[in-house]
């Protein structure tokens, strides 16, 4: 036993890992542990004090940021479908804008397409309705013309209000004309010409006795006017389609508030 103890001591002395410079590799020093624990406590206290000093709004925003990032990285199915349809609408509208400017493929026909669009403008229809109302001598004709004038005025106000709310621009950067500014038809959604021709065609089909060829031409005229607005680059396809829908709804509204012959005569006498 006494001989074995000096041998073990000699081994410990000869072991390199038992030296002072290598002790930190095997066993961390107590001073380091105490300094690290004290540093953690101080940092924790500083973080708690900073969290108390921050405003509740900032804390909410910091908590909401990861959720917002998740919403951007993982959009909903409705958002993906809406953005896809919007991209298709813009792409198809740009392809159909063959008369958007003189350099387009059908740039030479731009004047004729603009003339077709003027046939669906509100100012010529309002002026023509007023002239016919002055020259009309029958009670039935005055009743129809007064309600037509009401429908045209409602169309301008409703479309102008919807365009101010949506503020959607067309597929091409084209400035509205003078007549467009007069009727406040400066934005793209919904298409004012499309709503007007849809309302007029439905109004004439219901209140005028027309032959079948004239009925077909009336429907084709409405479709061509709507298509012309896409061809000159003023509206998207969805703008024109929504204009047709709003035009039909405006016709239904005029039918609900239809003015009788006595009311029309009273308004004409005041005027």
Rounded CA separation 224/202 (Å): 15
Structure-token match 């009743």, residue found: 143
Select from 110, 250, 266 the least CA-distant residue to 190: 250
**CA distances (Å), 28 to each of 13, 23, 44, 101, 169, in order?**
21, 8, 23, 79, 70
Q: Give Cα separations from 10 to 6, 14, 23 (angstroms).
A: 6, 6, 18
Contacts of residue 158, defined as CB under 8 A and 6 or more positions apart, other chains included, come to: 195, 246, 250
End-to-end CA distance of the chain: 133
Instruction: Look up residue 172 and give its DSSP letter.
Output: S
Instruction: Using the CB atoms, write b or e for 135-161: b if 16+ within 10 Å.
Output: ebeeeeebbbbbbbbbbbebbbebbbe
Is residue 245 a contact partner of residue 179, using CB atoms and an 8 Å limit?
A: no
Tell me which of 121, 193, 207, 236 is the catalytic residue.
193
What ranges make up the beta strands (E) of 167-223? none
Query: Does residue 193 carry a catalytic annotation?
Result: yes
Phi, psi (degrees; rounded to nearest 5) at 189: -110, 125
Q: Mind telling me the catalytic residues? A: 193, 235
């Amino acid at each position: 036993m006494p001989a074995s103890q000096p041998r073990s001591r000699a081994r410990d002395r000869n072991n390199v890992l038992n030296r002072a410079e290598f002790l930190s590799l095997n066993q961390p020093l107590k001073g380091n542990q105490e300094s690290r624990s004290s540093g953690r406590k101080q940092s924790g206290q500083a973080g708690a004090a900073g969290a108390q000093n921050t405003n509740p709004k900032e804390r909410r925003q910091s908590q909401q940021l990861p959720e917002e990032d998740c919403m951007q990285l993982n959009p909903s199915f409705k958002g993906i479908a809406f953005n896809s349809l919007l991209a298709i609408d813009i792409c198809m509208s740009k392809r159909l804008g063959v008369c958007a400017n003189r350099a387009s493929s059908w740039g030479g026909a731009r004047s004729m397409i603009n003339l077709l669009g003027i046939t669906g403008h509100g100012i010529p229809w309002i002026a023509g309705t007023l002239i016919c109302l002055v020259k009309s001598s029958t009670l039935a004709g005055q009743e129809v013309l007064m309600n037509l004038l009401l429908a045209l005025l409602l169309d301008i106000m409703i479309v102008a209000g919807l365009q101010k709310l949506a503020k959607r621009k067309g597929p091409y950067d084209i400035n509205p004309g003078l007549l467009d500014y007069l009727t406040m038809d400066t934005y793209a959604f919904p298409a004012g010409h499309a709503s007007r021709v849809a309302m007029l065609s439905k109004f004439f089909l219901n209140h005028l006795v027309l032959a079948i060829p004239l009925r077909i031409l009336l429907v084709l005229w409405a479709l061509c006017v709507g298509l012309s607005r896409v061809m000159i680059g003023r509206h998207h396809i969805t703008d024109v389609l929504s204009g047709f829908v709003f035009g039909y709804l405006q016709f239904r509204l005029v039918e609900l508030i239809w003015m009788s012959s006595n009311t029309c005569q009273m308004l004409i006498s005041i005027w």
